[in-house]
Structure 1
């Protein structure tokens, strides 16, 4: 075995997988508070209301659930989508850019958007150029657009779900219609038959984590996710680890998480006959180091003095 290969072997076997050191420790707090009160408590005593990345995270939670449901960190801020074209993570976005509105223009019908039954996250344009949120799997005709010097809208007289319409527009044009001012909204309205309800490219992805995490993991109980009464905007979890939505002012127990702030720095020096200027060699060394350091997990690297002497490698490690 050459010295370079041995170096890689030592680095590989010296790493303890970060998965053995969970990023978060979960704490069930048997105290009845509103969601916002629970958030403050968790941020004072721990790190934040609980974020979950996987079923493994849920299974590591040990709790007696004295209350049938407990708050955790998922919430849906209605101020981000109910009355304005905001710029928060759960605000309305345009399919063509994946970004929130740059102009703030909106043309909502009265009482819309309302996120009815926690299902309406895609948008149609209806009579008089007004917008209405609907369930994305409904079938409607739609508007595509091209964007060269000016947006050009194209009416497609086929009924599809929002996502199928999006795929069609991206394949044949630019995307589903993007509307950023009154002139464009009038042109879009005039492009479709007057009595048709058609998809445009506006959509939203509800629910964000209290700690700002980007975790896409969800474990909703479909029967418990319903935005009953139009005011259920905070996430709860039961003893079976399934989730529902609830009025954020209700008093419930809650789940916090703690993230360790301890940092470990590894310094090492080595000498080798391998050509460390070789990009291939360099990349493989960095790959091994990155493996140990990924996701800021604690890691340990151990090199035996005897092996180092025999293999003519010299390592100096210090942790601080």
Structure 2
């Protein structure tokens, strides 16, 4: 909110682009390696085979809530993770072969994940057509069933993430299925909109400051010792941090020298 409060409303009256977006190139009909990409629960990474079997027009991120995946009659679909679906778990044999188990219990994706991790290896992971067919055989026809595929939407354009969001009351909603970029209104509230719309925009830069402090010391310690140099910097850093300084990087501009005592 400190960043929000530094923005002034007049220049964003009609909405201004900010850096938050949900890049469809990282998840639409593909399994990629970006921060918004689909990944499997068991490894939290994308598949090595890039196999997928989506039911068109899935994945479509309807209402900006569909970030978990299920399977029905062998086809995958994206769905709201809080919906209740049956569960497909898997275990790995000593021959490194996946064995799938269908659980006819309707629950949320996170509850299904917890159950599979407790009793098996994890929610079903599918990396080729043969595995997809094998899992499909265990599931009754037309039963919507959770698999282990999920993704985390919305990241900043530099690929960083933030738990902070400031959506307006109706956003995000992905109206029309093409609202993948975020604009801020005059009240500093965020809304998802079509990335191809022309808007003013807000940039940012990180301002770095350098401060030089001159020190005079009276000590019997050998200040030319690198270990002593490091210890002094650590103690100064701790002192400044306790006073509210952040992101400190301290170094000696000139290595200290011990003054000779003429007496």
TM-score, normalised with respect to structure 2: 0.80
**After the TM superposition, which segments of 4 or more aligned residues of structure 1 sit over 4 Å from their partners?**
261-273, 282-288, 290-295, 297-300
1:52-67 matched pairs, under 5 angstroms = 55-67=1-13
Q: Partner residue of 2:115? A: 168
Partner of 1:25: none
Query: What pairs up with 1:285-296 in 2 under 5 angstroms?
Result: 286=234, 289=237, 296=247
**1:219 equivalent among 166, 170, 174:** 166
Corresponding position of 1:135: 80
Q: Contact (CA 8 Å) 2:71, 2:146: kept in 1 or not?
A: yes
Aligned residue for 2:147, secondary structure, equals: strand
1:232 aligned residue (170, 179, 197): 179
1:285–1:121 CA distance, 2 compared to 1 (3 A): same
Bigger Cα displacement from structure 2, 81-90 vs 209-218: 209-218
Cα pair 1:86 1:100 within 8 Å, conserved: yes
Structure 1: runs of 5 or more not aligned: 1-54, 274-281, 301-313, 316-320
What is aligned with 2:226? none
Give the 3 Å change call, closer, same or farther, for CA 268–204 of structure 1 in structure 2: farther
**Structure (1 or 2) with the greater helix fraction:** 1
1:209 aligned residue (134, 156, 168): 156
Structure number with the bigger relative contact order (C-alpha 8 A, sep ≥ 6) is: 1
Confirm whether residue 83 of structure 1 aligns to residue 29 of structure 2. yes
Aligned CA distance change for structure 1 residues 203 and 254 (closer, same or farther; 3 Å)? same
| 1:66–1:86 Cα change, 3 Å | closer
* Contact 1:114-1:133 at 8 Å conserved across structures: yes
1:88–1:267 Cα change, 3 Å: farther
**Contact 2:13–2:186 (CA<8 Å) still a contact in 1?**
no
Report the TM-score when normalising by structure 1: 0.67
Aligned counterparts, 1:139-218, within 5 A? 139-148=84-93, 149-218=96-165
| Contact 1:67–1:253 under 8 Å retained in 2 | no
Distance in 2, matches of 1:68 and 1:103, equals 45
- RMSD between aligned alpha carbons? 3.4
- The CA deviation at 1:150 is 1.2
1:114 to 60, 80, 90: 60
